[in-house]
Amino acid sequence: MRKLATVVILLIVSLTLFILSHNVYAKDYVVKKVIDGDTVQLDTGETVRYLGIDAPEVFTKEGGAEFYAREATRYNKKLVFMKKIKLEFDVEKKDQYGRLLAYVFVKDVFVNAELVRHGYAKAYIKPPNVKYKDLLLTNQKKAMDEEKGLWQEKKRDTETSYIGNKRTYTLHRPSCPSAKKVSDKNKIIFRNRMDAIKIGYTLCKQCKP
């Protein structure tokens, strides 16, 4: 009997360590509100910002929605609204606004990757949160090749080159104040936007290349 109790305790400890090592919330949460294509509110009142992806903005400073924003919101709602989800974390668990940063799962569906795979969101690689970088970029390449979702929008290059920051995975116009602060060590030059986007670079929200 004592031997059995020891085995049970060891199993519980092993399971606990597994959960902690994978940064997973063991409990289920229910999504009560879908804010947009990459943000939801839980039944606890907490807001979750999906890690590793960036969906088009529904509300912009200029007014109106970005291309494919409403479609992305609707698809996200279809995947998670009023459903039980599990959260998996990376290095950073919250952003500057206090939102939880997480990879979201509904049963065996990896929601973040699913949104990218169908072109409802772009891969948003932002170190140190790079756990699913390769999977997200693979899904994005497939969506881009098939011109799914937001990749239907055609944008011309307006610069002869662009400056990427290898530390933050952000792409800037050469004239952007942030581009001028990038050290030579972290600087990479791209001849067009798409080459940068394909490997996970995110467009600067200030200069909007």
39 inside domain: yes
20 inside domain: no
At 178 the pLDDT is 96
Q: pLDDT tens-digit profile of 91-110? A: 999 999 999 999 999 999 99
65 and 163, same domain (yes or no): no
CATH number at residue 33: 2.40.50.90
Per the structure, how many domains does the chain have?
Answer: 2
Q: pLDDT tens-digit profile of 104-161? A: 999 999 999 999 999 999 999 999 999 999 999 999 999 999 999 999 988 889 999 9
pLDDT at 10 over 50: no
142 and 55, same domain (yes or no): yes
195 inside domain: yes
33 inside domain: yes
Catalytic residues: 49, 57, 99
160 and 134, same domain (yes or no): no
Is the pTM above the cut of 0.85? no
40 and 54, same domain (yes or no): yes
56 and 137, same domain (yes or no): yes
- Per the listing, tokens 């409990």 go with 27
Type of residue numbered 196: A
Angle, CA of 184, 127 and 111, to the nearest 5°: 145
9 inside domain: no
48 and 89, same domain (yes or no): yes
77 and 167, same domain (yes or no): no
Domain region containing 96:
29-151
Helix (H) or strand (E) holding 35: strand 29-36
Q: For the chain, give the number of residues.
A: 209
